[in-house]
Amino acid sequence: MVKRIAEISLYVVMFLAAYAAMNYYVYNNVAQVITPLGKSPLGQVVFVLLAVSYPLSQFFKSRLRRPLIVSFVGSLWLGMLATAVTVFLLYDFLSLFLPMGNQSWAIALIIALTVLGASKAWRGPVVKEVSLQQKKGAAAFSIAHLSDLHLGPQTSLKWLEKVIAQVNSLEVDIVVITGDVIEDTYEGMARFLPAFQNLRGKGVYAVSGNHEYYQGIEHFQQFCRDAGIIIADGQCLKVADGVNLLGLGGRITGIDPKTEALIREQLGGSEDYNILLLHQPVGFKKTAALGIDLQLSGHTHRGQILPLNFLIHLVYPYAYGLHALGESHIYVSSGTGTWGPPLRIGSSSEIVKIKVS
């Protein structure tokens, strides 16, 4: 317990130090162009309030039922801050080789990217269609793949109803959700139940992700039960003639021997078409060798905003989209919703329609 507390404390200190440095760096650059910000106490106070809004929203998250204003402003500022650091670093780098003038254009670019990113996130997911062929003799079927909805206090019920309507319009056989469904307790999520109960298909299946454990996995389990979603964690389910669906829930970050043994045990040497739902896009080479024909994952959000769009590829070899190893495929979704900043810069939210024939 003492070790765990020490680890958490170190993480918090390191995050706050990095966060403070990012805010100071952005403040310094902006103040060189908007001089009242650097000289006016009011301007400095406004900037400080923006800077502390995100840490405050996280601190009060478990103490207030719905700290929406602070939470929204903090999340938006976090995204804008990350974008600003990226743009100003690019400005500083180019300044080494080119006469760049002042940072006015950089500030204009940051504002434009933030506005565009917010409107893109607000519009909701696009539908992406993927076609696959399989040689195992299973009848043709279709899947709607959702991931990373991150339903919570900031999620609009109208937005979710639009997503459900989009899925229903695809007329697929099954719907799968690859983790990070909820960001709140069951009581906070209950308002979303009617929307899910309108979801059409022969079956709706989900696995848990890492975020399900932040509030407590029992909230996710109860929500799925009441929403008519079948939890596939640790199960191998027959979802169509000649088609199995295996779920690996939780915070799995790699395919270790124990997980390999679980996959072998659940599949039992099946010659059917085998689908794996796994939140993080890990272990594809191993899962393909174990008989998985299609792995569906999420988690990465395709970076969601700058500069994570580029950095995510350093962490995950399969960070987004469709990839193949022999006859096996993995599709990594960019996520149907957003987490943290309500922005999409360099990525899009998506619903994936997969046709297997």
H-state helical runs in 34-156: 35-39, 41-59, 68-95, 104-123
pLDDT tens digit sequence for 323-341: 999 999 999 999 999 998 9
Range from 36-40, 254-258, 283-287 carrying the lowest mean pLDDT:
36-40
* CA 352 – CA 348 distance, rounded (Å): 12
Q: pLDDT-based confidence at 165, cuts 50/70/90?
A: very high
pLDDT over 70 at 44, yes or no: yes
CB 249 within 8 A of CB 234: yes
* CA 86 – CA 29 distance, rounded (Å): 12
Helix axes 2-33, 41-59, angle to 10 degrees: 150
For range 270-281, the mean pLDDT: 92
pLDDT over 90 at 173, yes or no: yes
The topology (CATH level 3) of 124-356 is: Purple Acid Phosphatase; chain A, domain 2 (3.60.21)
What is the greatest pairwise CA distance in the chain? Answer: 72
pLDDT confidence of residue 348: 94
pLDDT confidence of residue 37: 67
Per-chain mean pLDDT for the chain = 90
pLDDT over 60 at 62, yes or no: no
pLDDT over 60 at 66, yes or no: no
Range from 39-48, 62-71, 343-352 carrying the lowest mean pLDDT:
62-71
**Distance between alpha carbon 69 and the CA centroid of its chain, in Å?**
22
Q: Buried (b) or exposed (e) across 153-179, using 16+ Cβ within 10 A?
A: bbbeeebbeebbebbeebebbbbbbbb
pLDDT tens digit sequence for 5-29: 776 778 878 888 999 999 999 998 9
What is the torsion angle, in degrees rounded to the nearest 10, for the CA atoms of residue 20, residue 21, residue 27 and residue 30? -140
Range from 54-58, 197-201, 242-246 carrying the lowest mean pLDDT:
54-58
| 214 token code pair | 């932040």
| Angle ∠(325,309,281) on CA atoms, nearest 5 | 35
pLDDT confidence of residue 267: 82
pLDDT tens digit sequence for 131-152: 999 888 778 899 999 999 999 8
Query: In sequence order, which residues have a C-beta less than 8 Å from that of residue 64 and are 6 or more positions away?
Result: none
Please report, rounded to a whole number, the percentage of residues in the chain having pLDDT higher than 70.
95
For range 212-227, the mean pLDDT: 93
- Parts of the chain belonging to CATH 3.60.21.10: 124-356
pLDDT over 70 at 64, yes or no: no
Per DSSP bridges, beta strands 230-231 and 203-207 are parallel
Count other C-beta atoms under 10 Å from residue 11's C-beta.
10
Q: pLDDT-based confidence at 253, cuts 50/70/90?
A: confident
DSSP 173: S
Q: Which of 351, 1, 356 is nearest to 176 (CA)?
A: 351
